[in-house]
Structures are given as C-alpha cells and as structure tokens.
C-alpha cells in the first residue's frame, strides 16, 4: 500500500539540493561562496555602507576535498535573537518585502549550512554585531533537518570594544577548489564590475584577488514598496484585507483600503476605478463576498488607469557607474552604456541596464561574450536558458558593423522587485515578454552608439591609408 508522509522544507531541500545548485563538490563550493557573498553585499548596500567583503578559502584536505570557506563583511550584522532562524530554518529571512535585493527566497545560506553539515558533519560558525552594539555574538549551529529548525551548539558573547559591526560566516564542506576556482574567480571579478563601490578580496591556496573600490559612493538604497494592482490575486487581496482590518474598531472603506495598500493608487484614481468597476468607494471591505473579491481582483488587473509602478523600490547602478565597472574589469577600447526608464511586468517594476564593450582587452570570439547580472548578482551558469542569450542571438550584428570573430562583450543587468528567475539556484531568467523587449531595446540603443564609433574608426583608418 502507498505510504504517505510529509517533509519539512529542510528535508525537501536536503533531498533535492541539486535544484538549489548543490549538485556536486565543484558546484556546491561555488554556490556556497556566492550565497555568502550575496548576503554580505545586501547587508552593506541596502544600508548605504561601502562594502568590504573578505572571502577566504582554505583547502583543509585535498585528498578528501575538505574546504573551509569564510566570508566577512562590514554590514549591519544580524540581531542575536534572529541568528538561529536565519541560519537554521529554511524559508526564513528579511527579504520577503517589495524591494530590490540579491536575496529573495530565504533559503540561500541554509542550503550552504545543510550541505556542509551533510558532507562533513560540522556546524556553521557565525560571528556578528549590529552597529553600536556593545557585544559581538558568536554562534555555532546546525539544522535539525526533520523539524526545519536550528540546533544551537554554542553561543558566546564577546566584548565589542572596537565597536565593530558586520558578520563573519565560516563553513567546512566537501568542495573541489581546483574544479571551482575558475568560476569563483570569474564570479568575484564580475561582482567587482557590477558593484564598483565595493572592495572585495579573495584569499585562497593558489590565487589572491584584491579589487579596491573604484567609486566612493553607494547608490541610493531602494525603499520598501507596496504591491501594484496589476499583480493582484484573490489570496493577496484576502491577506491584505485581513492585515488592514485587524485591530481596527471601525471597518475601513474600500477606497481607503486601495489607497493605503497599493502602489500607484491615489484617492482620485481609486475612486474612478471603483466607479468603473461598479463598487461604492465607501463600502466596508469586510462585507466583500468571495465573488466580489474575485471580480475586484480581475478588474484591478484589467484596469488601465493605474499609475505605472515607481522605481523607488529599485536601485540600478546607473550608466556612469556601469561604464566605470566595465572599464575597470574588461579594459575595452570603447564602452556604450544605458540605463533604461523603469518598466514593469505583472505589477513588478524593473529597470534594464546594458553596456557594450568593444576592443581593447575584450577577447575576440565567434559570438558576443555575454555577461549577465540580476539585482547585481553575476549569473555564470545556464546561459542557454536565459532571456538575454535569446535576445543576443536574434540580433543581426552586421547591422551595427560588427563582423564575427570580433572583440564584443554584452553586459546585461536587470533590476527588479521580482526577478523572473527560472529556479531557486538563481542562474537563468525567464523570457517574460516585457523584460525581453526592454533588453532588446537597450542592446540596440547601445549598438547604435557602437556603430557610430566603428564607422568613425573605419573613416579614420581609410584616411590614414590614403
């Protein structure tokens, strides 16, 4: 007979860890490093702190492939009461809000802890202090996989005499450093490209990198936003209504509910919408039936009178910083870059930034070198499944005077409150039509600038030859 059972989230991802990028000792080491680095960059940038990230890789045992990874940052640290769940509970984090950040799933560091635990039996070590805290907290903990909760093995308090703030995470795992090194180095280089205001160092047995920041100002941190009516469904409406109604004496009205809970909805817009949709603005939201909620959700998605989502919850690099990063890392002869106006899909705002780098130290190749970024995360795998690759492949580069083999690099950066990732391993982006159109528009805009440059270069060369 069939045996029925339930799994905890930790159990599920322990069994299916390859889906999160932890498929083998090479890939798992890469994923471990990137999950920690991405957390450190969020912990600095989102608070306007110039990031200082130190990555250390020690090969403890080459025959057994045992590696120790340590990542240190100068970020906002983690409140000690939150450390156990942050590192020991799958689907726990602070990124479940409407705001651009690298983190979004509440899963990344837990996967790294799980993998280290199952391959070497060792706990994660965390040292952390929040700004102005008098004490530094040091933890060692593991995950109780069956129950999806942390098991604290150690918790020490250390005097924070130097008033340090930040986080150190140490993991010992089965990882193949010689296999992973090349991709890890590339990941760190590209992180330096897309976050040129960050200072990042890597120390490992056979390679040391030191990227000193090229810019001295962190971009304006994004603000937490509200959902846009374009993206509502019945469940979202129900949960927003529940939150908005709780603890109030007088039941709130429908128009108040819309104005207070959604992006792009002012009082006048809300009233015209409700008039169009056939609802009394003063109607108490508690009296909405399930059929009315269904109808309201549908009409909110359909109505074209909403203001488009603002970009205050986004934090693009800007074409100037993007050019700076590209110049610093790729050292091309020519760069054209653009940050497009904000757009949106399904109520989620997004901004596409593109740079084209040509010549100089850009390697010559049969097709464009594609560097993909999402919310300032470098994406190094699954290029064949990514929307940017689809767009680059359908462009006829001859139109822009680029004949392959050629030294051309295409840098695509997508910022959004919801990046349409294809999987929890965050490697490829789905071809959402609005996003695909924006990427193509941005690439063509830069390509026209490149064409002018190459045309000019051609003229100067033919003048010389005369």
Ligand X SMILES: Nc1ncnc2c1ncn2[C@@H]1O[C@H](COP(=O)(O)OP(=O)(O)OP(=O)(O)O)[C@@H](O)[C@H]1O
Query: Do the beta carbons of residue 439 and residue 414 sit within 8 Å?
Result: yes
Site string for Mg ion, 57-96 (x = CB under 5 A): ----------------------------------------
Query: Do the beta carbons of residue 96 and residue 106 sit within 8 Å?
Result: yes
d(CA 36, CA 184): 12
DSSP β-bridge partners for residue 202: 55, 209
d(CA 30, CA 181): 8
Of 397, 333, 341, 386, the closest CA to residue 361 belongs to 333
Continuous segment of H or E residues that includes residue 454: helix 433-465
d(CA 1, CA 7): 19
Which residue among 2, 208, 291, 366 contacts ligand X (CB under 6 A)? 2
Taking the complex as a whole, the smallest distance from the CB of residue 82 to a copy of itself amounts, in Å, to 5
d(CA 43, CA 76): 6
**Which lies closer to Mg ion via its Cβ, residue 102 or residue 181?**
102
Taking the complex as a whole, the smallest distance from the CB of residue 171 to a copy of itself amounts, in Å, to 14
Considering only residues 102 to 141 of the shown chain, the ones binding ligand X according to CB under 6 A are: 103-110
Which residue among 11, 35, 138, 386 contacts ligand X (CB under 6 A)? 35
**Which lies closer to ligand X via its Cβ, residue 98 or residue 104?**
104
- Name the 3-class secondary structure at 168: strand
Considering only residues 72 to 91 of the shown chain, the ones binding a copy of itself according to CB under 8 A are: 76, 79, 82, 85-86, 89, 91
The token pair that represents 70 in the structure block: 């340590």
Site string for ligand X, 265-284 (x = CB under 6 A): --------------------
Considering only residues 50 to 109 of the shown chain, the ones binding ligand X according to CB under 6 A are: 73, 75-78, 86, 93-95, 103-109
d(CA 346, CA 12): 29
Alpha helices in 246-335 (DSSP H): 254-261, 267-277, 290-302, 319-330
The token pair that represents 184 in the structure block: 């890890």
Considering only residues 265 to 304 of the shown chain, the ones binding a copy of itself according to CB under 8 A are: 290-291, 293-294, 298
**Which lies closer to Mg ion via its Cβ, residue 103 or residue 150?**
103
Q: 305-336: buried (b, 16+ CB within 10 Å) or exposed (e) per residue?
A: ebeebebebbbbbebebbbbbbbbbbebebbb
Q: Which does 239 bind (CB under 5 to 8 A by kind): Mg ion, a copy of itself, ligand X, none?
A: a copy of itself
Taking the complex as a whole, the smallest distance from the CB of residue 381 to ligand X amounts, in Å, to 16
Question: CA 280 → CA 87, 235, 306, distances in Å?
Answer: 48, 22, 18
Which residue among 167, 191, 327, 337 contacts ligand X (CB under 6 A)? 167
Which residue among 5, 206, 366, 396 contacts a copy of itself (CB under 8 A)? 5
**Which lies closer to ligand X via its Cβ, residue 167 or residue 344?**
167
201 burial type by CB count under 10 A (0-12 exposed, 13-18 middle, 19+ buried): middle
Q: If binding is defined by CB under 6 A, does position 375 make contact with ligand X? A: no
Choices 30-38, 132-140, 229-237, 442-450; region in contact with a copy of itself by CB under 8 A: 229-237
Residue 365 is classified by DSSP as: B
Which residue among 77, 84, 88, 103 contacts Mg ion (CB under 5 A)? 103
**Which lies closer to a copy of itself via its Cβ, residue 141 or residue 335?**
141
Which residue among 44, 74, 119, 204 contacts a copy of itself (CB under 8 A)? 119
Residue in the block written with tokens 């009296």: 287
55 burial type by CB count under 10 A (0-12 exposed, 13-18 middle, 19+ buried): buried
Query: Do the beta carbons of residue 415 and residue 460 sit within 8 Å?
Result: no
Measured at the alpha carbon of residue 350, what is the angle toward residues 345 and 352, in degrees to the nearest 5? Answer: 120
Site string for a copy of itself, 38-67 (x = CB under 8 A): --------------------------x---
Q: If binding is defined by CB under 8 A, does position 92 make contact with a copy of itself? A: yes
- By CB under 6 A, the count of residues binding ligand X is 23
Q: If binding is defined by CB under 5 A, does position 108 make contact with Mg ion? A: yes
Residues that bind a copy of itself (CB under 8 A): 2-9, 11-12, 14-16, 18-19, 23, 64, 76, 79, 82, 85-86, 89, 91-94, 96-97, 105-106, 117-121, 145-146, 233-236, 239, 290-291, 293-294, 298, 382, 384-385, 420-424, 428, 430
**Residue numbers at the binding site for Mg ion (CB under 5 A):** 39, 103, 108
**Interface residue list for ligand X (CB under 6 A):** 2, 35, 39-40, 43, 73, 75-78, 86, 93-95, 103-110, 167
């Amino acid at each position: 007979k069939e045996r029925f059972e339930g799994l905890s989230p930790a159990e599920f991802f322990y069994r299916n860890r390859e889906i999160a990028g932890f498929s083998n000792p090479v890939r798992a080491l890469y994923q471990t490093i990137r999950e920690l680095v991405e957390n450190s960059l969020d912990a600095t940038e989102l608070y306007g702190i110039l990031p200082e990230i130190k990555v250390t890789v020690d090969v403890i045992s080459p025959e057994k492939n045992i590696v120790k990874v340590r990542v240190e940052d100068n970020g906002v640290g983690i409140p000690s009461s939150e450390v156990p769940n942050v590192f020991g509970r799958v689907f726990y984090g602070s990124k479940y809000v409407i705001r651009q950040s690298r983190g979004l799933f509440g899963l990344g560091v837990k996967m790294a802890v799980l993998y280290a635990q199952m391959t070497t039996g060792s706990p994660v070590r965390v040292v952390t202090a929040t700004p102005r805290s008098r004490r530094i907290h040091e933890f060692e903990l593991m995950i109780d996989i069956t129950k999806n909760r942390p098991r604290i093995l150690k918790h020490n308090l250390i005097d924070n005499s130097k008033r340090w703030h930040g986080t150190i995470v140490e993991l010992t795992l089965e990882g193949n450093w010689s296999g992973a090194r090349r991709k890890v180095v590339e990941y760190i280089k590209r992180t330096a490209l897309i976050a040129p205001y960050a200072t990042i160092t890597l120390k490992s047995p056979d390679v040391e990198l030191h990227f000193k920041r090229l810019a001295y100002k962190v971009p304006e941190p994004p603000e937490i936003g509200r959902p846009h009516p374009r993206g509502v469904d019945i469940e979202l409406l129900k949960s927003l209504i529940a939150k908005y109604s709780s603890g109030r004496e007088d039941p709130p009205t429908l128009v108040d509910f819309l104005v207070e809970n959604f992006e792009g909805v002012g009082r006048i817009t809300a009233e015209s919408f409700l008039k169009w949709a056939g609802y009394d603005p003063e109607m108490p939201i508690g009296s909405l039936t399930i059929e009315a909620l269904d109808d309201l959700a549908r009409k909110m998605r359909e109505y074209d009178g909403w203001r488009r989502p603002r970009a205050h919850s986004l934090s693009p690099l800007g074409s100037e910083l993007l050019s700076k990063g590209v110049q610093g890392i790729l050292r091309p002869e020519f760069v054209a870059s653009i940050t497009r106006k904000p757009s949106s899909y399904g109520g989620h705002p997004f901004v596409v930034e593109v740079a084209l780098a040509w010549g100089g130290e850009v390697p010559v190749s049969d097709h464009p070198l594609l560097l993909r970024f999402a919310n300032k995360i470098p994406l190094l795998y699954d290029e064949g499944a990514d929307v940017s690759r689809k767009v680059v492949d359908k462009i006829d580069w001859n139109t822009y005077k680029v004949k392959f083999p050629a030294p051309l690099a295409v840098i695509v950066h997508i910022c959004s409150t919801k990046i349409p990732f294809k999987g929890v391993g965050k490697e490829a982006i789905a071809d959402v039509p609005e996003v695909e159109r924006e990427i193509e528009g941005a690439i063509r805009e830069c390509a026209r600038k490149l064409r002018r440059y190459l045309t000019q270069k051609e003229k100067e060369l033919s003048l010389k030859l005369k």
